[in-house]
Structure 1
Amino acid sequence: MYTPKFVLICLSSLFFSASYNMLIPELPSYLSSLGGAKYIGLIIALFTLTAGISRPFSGKLTDTIGRKPVMIFGALVCLVCGGFYPILTTVYGFLLLRLCHGFSTGFTPTAASTFVSDVVPRERLGEAMGIQGIAFSTGLALGPALGSFIKLHFSYSILFYSSSAMAFLALLLIVNLKETLPARQRFHLGLLKISRNDIIALEALPPAIITFLSYVGFGVVLTLIPDWTESVGFVNKGVFFIVFTISSLLVRFIAGRLSDRYGRIKVIAVGLALLFIALVLIGFLNTRSGLLIGASIYGLAMGVISPAINAWTIDLSLPEQKGKAMATMYIALEAGIGFGALCSGWYYQETISRIPLIMYCCAGLAFTGIGYIVMVKRNITTKY
């Protein structure tokens, strides 16, 4: 399983993830400094809007022109947008960049996950998705911590240029990959014509629904946790993400292997139960130690859920439409993150006391997911 292709895609996932995640802790205060505090909920919502809109295109292109070109395009978007943040210094210029920046995650992760499924044995797919998730989550952890460090010691401009540098490293690694799609088409504008059949892979709907219910809370975390972290006494707003990701890293490898052995549904159900507990604790324990406990359990939950959902999506996909299936799952992911970010930002309005109720609502969605997956298990008799 540990071929050069697999190692390179994991490393590129790390740098790509770090590129855009290193901005997240500092963007709310940056937007406020521009006079756009009331638009904080749009920081994540706009990003996920274009990411979600672009998923049908990235899925179709992944299955036609190849995995590599789609990954390259997403990394280029990250590189270019990072360089424009210091230039477009108005509220609307910033929001426009967030809208454009979302195309990066709309393209690269779809093709990267499909690429992984091409280069690893089927019986180790869950394990492979877990390892790639470890790489991606390492970027998720190091990015915010590094971003806050750069902002504290340098400036916003250096932070944005550092984001571009991370995207450039990801791009270099992707360029050195060998394409895995056997029968590639040349790109032409006709491929950008999307029909209803290109948008959703119906066979991938069960994991997509679980993804949506799981990631509404993640949109809330991305939007509100920086302020929540500061309110309980931490200076570095990335500390939650560090603990969350370390916890996630510890379990991803094991969770992926367990999903290969015992089935995706059982593992996902355990992850949803952990997610429910974590979100309740984050809202209830409004202290520094409480935040760290909540972050630890939240990391365990997402570390269990993510690789199992990715592998389950590939399991249910048609062989020639793996990109479309992954795009369907990612559409649900972006919809969940965007919905959580937009609704929480609208209700929050910089009132810290409102955060616990928002967390409890997200916990309710996780509990709903448990009920749904129990219902799905009754209708699916295969191992996966």
Structure 2
Amino acid sequence: MKQPNAAKQHKPLWTKAFLLTSLSNLLLFFSFQMLIPTIPTHISQLGGDDAQVGLVIGLFTISSLLTRPFAGKALDSLGRKHVLLVGLSICALTIAGYSYMAAITLILAARFVHGIGWGMSTTSLGTVIADIIPAERRGEGMGYYGLSNTFALALAPLTGLWLMNAYGFLRVLQLSTCLALLSLLSSLFITYPKPPMPFEKPAQRPTLADRLFERSALLPSILLLCTAVCYGGIVTFITLFGREAGISNVGWFFLCNASMVLIVRPITGLLFDRKGPEWVLLPGAFFTIAGLLLLSYAHSEANLAAAALCYGVGFGSLQPALQAWTIARAAPNRRGAASGTFFSANDLGIGLGAMALGALATYCGSYAVMYRYSVLLMVVFLLIYGWCLWQAKRVVRLFGRTSN
């Protein structure tokens, strides 16, 4: 009787499909992250003002956010491969096209199109990896898969800036295009699992909202929104906070944060699989709160590094755990819609963090105070998740069963 369970525990994770999907994701994110610090600089060099520099980020985020729900629906109805290949092709062609655009208006239009490809590609890759990872190793698999994002976040911006300063923006675009094309090439060799079919027809015709968004993904997506707003405030204003606090090199924050994420994600992935989401989400939220508070009081690079290490534990725990939990809650034939809902919350949160926390910093007159107030978002995170845990345990006591 124990043999089936033993076999179930030893389903392979490091398959060819898992490695190729992770590689495709790494190449795509590296290509994208190289442009984050360099395109705004290029716009400024072309004579663009601050508003146009802001539009470079804003238009990309808006188009990506609008695309994700439709991409999720297409993934469930048309299949994973076609949507992914189209999205990656759009990314590669758009990046290559930047080098032929001397007018700021054309670049802004291309950024909108690039956001569409980005929304399709990242939603597709998140859905494909969810199909590939064995259900009993979902937390571990998502943790390892998320390391590809972390590597790109740690190295790509520095690579892009070095290339731009040494050889010019054209070389940045050429390398970014090559990486996007390699991501497309590697995705051609992925063995795509057949998308699951629904077990039964719905009792009533689903609404447009039901087709575009997955209701079971709303809870983890709302929790992700809280963390993404905080993260948006960090990546947008950390440099300005450094000037305010008299810290010359804020790059230490990103380096220490990325290093801790690399260490934490495999560990918390195993913890998620063996103990459940609450064993990861609750400590992750408290570490995030501690990191934000330490950051708000930082006045030296040592303080900044300590804040980054603490925040890295929280950030490295929460995002993959929430993604794994999202997939676990969704029906197999609704994973595309669930991924679209999840990543939409991430895009929306980062955008809100840049706008709302920026307005808050202006009102308070201090980025340090802004970071202290952002702790309230993680308090909301804990209140929502704590209430859901209490409700789930109440159901167990009353009916003797659990609820997702």
Structure 2 distance, partners of 1:318, 1:64, is 14
Structure 1 residue matching 2:228: 3-state secondary structure: helix
Say which one has the larger Rg.
2
Q: Which amino acid aligns with 1:266?
A: W
1:17-49: per-residue Cα shift (whole Å, max 9, x none)?
111112223344334333322454444332221
Asked whether the 8 Å contact 1:52–1:106 carries over to 2, the reply is yes
Correspondence list, 1:130-209, <5 A: 130-182=143-195, 195-209=208-222
352 and 241 in structure 1: CA distance in 2 versus 1, 3 angstrom threshold: farther
60 and 153 in structure 1: CA distance in 2 versus 1, 3 angstrom threshold: same
31 and 223 in structure 1: CA distance in 2 versus 1, 3 angstrom threshold: farther
2:30 to 18, 25, 30: 18
Q: What are the ranges of 5 or more consecutive residues in structure 2 without an aligned counterpart?
A: 1-12, 198-206, 394-401
Asked whether the 8 Å contact 1:66–1:179 carries over to 2, the reply is no
Equivalent residue, structure 2, for 1:73? 86
Structure 1 distance, partners of 2:241, 2:90, is 30
Structure 2 residue matching 1:380: 3-state secondary structure: helix
1:320 to 329, 333, 336: 333
More relative contact order, 1 or 2 (CA 8 Å, 6+ apart): 1
Equivalent residue, structure 1, for 2:248? 233
Q: Which amino acid aligns with 2:247?
A: V
Q: What are the ranges of 5 or more consecutive residues in structure 1 without an aligned counterpart?
A: 185-193
22 and 58 in structure 1: CA distance in 2 versus 1, 3 angstrom threshold: same
2:126 paired with 1:104: no
Correspondence list, 1:90-101, <5 A: 90-101=103-114
1:249-269: per-residue Cα shift (whole Å, max 9, x none)?
110001111011111133112
Asked whether the 8 Å contact 1:216–1:340 carries over to 2, the reply is yes
Higher deviation after alignment, 40-49 or 293-302:
40-49
Asked whether the 8 Å contact 2:364–2:370 carries over to 1, the reply is no
1:105-155: per-residue Cα shift (whole Å, max 9, x none)?
311222222212222221101100001001221112121121122122221
Structure 1 residue matching 2:37: 3-state secondary structure: helix
Asked whether the 8 Å contact 1:19–1:78 carries over to 2, the reply is no
Structure 1 distance, partners of 2:240, 2:185, is 35
42 and 216 in structure 1: CA distance in 2 versus 1, 3 angstrom threshold: farther
Asked whether the 8 Å contact 2:147–2:265 carries over to 1, the reply is yes
Size of the aligned set, in residue pairs, is 372
How far apart are 1:368 and its partner, in Å? 1.4
Q: Which amino acid aligns with 1:295?
A: A
Asked whether the 8 Å contact 1:25–1:226 carries over to 2, the reply is no
2:304 paired with 1:291: yes
1:356 to 349, 353, 368: 368
Q: TM-score, normalised on structure 2?
A: 0.84
Identity among equivalent pairs (%): 29
2:140 paired with 1:127: yes
Structure 1 residue matching 2:190: 3-state secondary structure: coil
Asked whether the 8 Å contact 2:30–2:152 carries over to 1, the reply is yes
Q: Which amino acid aligns with 2:391?
A: N
Structure 1 distance, partners of 2:300, 2:167, is 29
Higher deviation after alignment, 250-259 or 137-146:
137-146
183 and 300 in structure 1: CA distance in 2 versus 1, 3 angstrom threshold: closer
Structure 1 distance, partners of 2:364, 2:125, is 37
1:292-318: per-residue Cα shift (whole Å, max 9, x none)?
322222222111001110110011101
2:259 paired with 1:246: yes
Correspondence list, 1:295-374, <5 A: 295-344=308-357, 354-374=366-386
Q: Which amino acid aligns with 1:102?
A: G
Q: Which amino acid aligns with 1:213?
A: C
Structure 2 distance, partners of 1:183, 1:373, is 29
RMSD (Å) for aligned C-alpha atoms:
2.6
Higher deviation after alignment, 38-47 or 130-139:
38-47
2:399 paired with 1:378: no
285 and 39 in structure 1: CA distance in 2 versus 1, 3 angstrom threshold: farther
Q: Which amino acid aligns with 2:380?
A: T
Q: Which amino acid aligns with 2:311?
A: Y
